[in-house]
Amino acid sequence: MNIYGYSPRKLKEYFEYIGENPAKAMIIFDGIYRRGLKGFTEYGFAERIVERLNADFDFALPKVVEKRECEDAAKLLLELSDGEYVETVLMRQMFGNCICVSTQVGCNMGCKFCQSGLLKTRRNLTAAEITGQALTIAREFDCRIDGVSVMGIGEPFDNFEAVADFCEIVTEDKGLAVGRRHVTVSTCGIVPGIYDYADLPRPCNLAISLHAPTDELRTELMPINKAYPIAEVIKAAEYFSGKTHRRVTLEYVMLKGVNDTAENAKQLAGLVRGHDFYVNLIPYNSTDSGYTKSSAETVSEFCAVLKDNGVIATKRREFGADLNAACGQLRADYTGQ
């Protein structure tokens, strides 16, 4: 078993299971995440415990097979133990280092503009493989991680338990200690997943990929909308913000001539107004999907209409466009799939 997949709760349960004091779990957390230990001999535990831990756990991390780096961003292509590949990104933001992690090999959601969806989900990542991405970035670039977006390849709520465990691991004070408000899980709108996430003991932030203000257009772009139409997504988002007192981010990728008119902005404002949501406008990262990005001018106008209609909106800064860094692109370049 890979130690990096164990949340504090699961590691405590493990110690209870082997008949030892669960407080040892947190000593180990401190050791592996803060001191970078890769064994169990330095904790002063009895020999029999060390032997048991050595027999039960390994410290394997994914292998870096390609690294692209520019001034404000870097991207790693990682090979997993079974030869599958995933991507992880580091963005150097004003407030610190933010990483973007993948949750699946491939993705089943089939969003029309997204490269990741071209490869159907081959398997879920384990919590250890998601944490492994964060640790590999920290090691490769010798940096602290200040923020995490669960927005790489895959649909997090299609792999709920591993993602929930990862959130616990990465935010643990005795571990990587990323603030809960600096960890954001992004979903394409799997409604039951949003409720389950809101009901976790300590959820992190939530972002929802809305991308269209009407069901007709959203269904065209995102097949998931057939199962969970906009009204249900908004209701679930409202439940999350009510329960957690956190503002929900609605992501909106700006596609030229598709969803970027002033009328679309007004429709979107109608959905958002009165809720504790804000809109993050995402510049489209060109792929060979046939969609293109809206001009900077159109994005500014769209943003202005939202603001005029009482909606808080921001434009996402573009990172690493020259890395060919849109979701799934590096993987596709490398594997030809």
Beta carbons within 8 Å of 290's beta carbon, 6+ residues apart: none
Query: Applying CB under 6 A, which of residues 88, 126, 186, 264 lies at the interface with ligand SAH?
Result: 186
- Under the criterion CB under 6 A, does residue 124 sit at the interface with ligand SAH? no
- Identify which range of 24-32, 74-82, 270-278, 283-291 contacts ligand SAH by CB under 6 A: 283-291
C-beta of 186 vs 244, nearer to ligand SAH: 186
DSSP helix/strand/coil, 156: helix
> How many Å apart are CA 218 and CA 105, to the nearest integer?
24
**Contact indicator for 292, 113 with CB cutoff of 8 Å:** no
- Under the criterion CB under 6 A, does residue 111 sit at the interface with ligand SAH? yes
Beta carbons within 8 Å of 255's beta carbon, 6+ residues apart: 113, 211, 221, 284, 291, 292, 293, 294
C-beta of 53 vs 76, nearer to ligand SAH: 76
- Under the criterion CB under 6 A, does residue 282 sit at the interface with ligand SAH? yes
**Contact indicator for 102, 153 with CB cutoff of 8 Å:** yes
> How many Å apart are CA 89 and CA 94, to the nearest integer?
16
Number of residues that bind ligand SAH (CB under 6 A): 18
Query: Applying CB under 6 A, which of residues 97, 187, 205, 244 lies at the interface with ligand SAH?
Result: 187
Footprint (CB under 6 A) of ligand SAH, residues 217-236: none
Residue carrying structure tokens 């792999």: 159
Q: Is 327 a catalytic residue?
A: yes
Query: Applying CB under 6 A, which of residues 29, 57, 197, 284 lies at the interface with ligand SAH?
Result: 284
> How many Å apart are CA 113 and CA 264, to the nearest integer?
18
C-beta of 159 vs 171, nearer to ligand SAH: 159
Query: Applying CB under 6 A, which of residues 287, 299, 302, 319 lies at the interface with ligand SAH?
Result: 287
For residue 276, CA distances in Å to 70, 115, 145, 248, 337 come to 36, 31, 27, 7, 40
Minimum distance of ligand SAH from residue 118's CB (angstroms): 11
Q: Is 172 a catalytic residue?
A: no
Active-site annotation, residues:
87, 327
Q: Which residues bind ligand SAH (CB under 6 A)?
A: 109, 111, 113-114, 151, 155, 186-188, 209, 251, 253, 282, 284-285, 287, 326-327
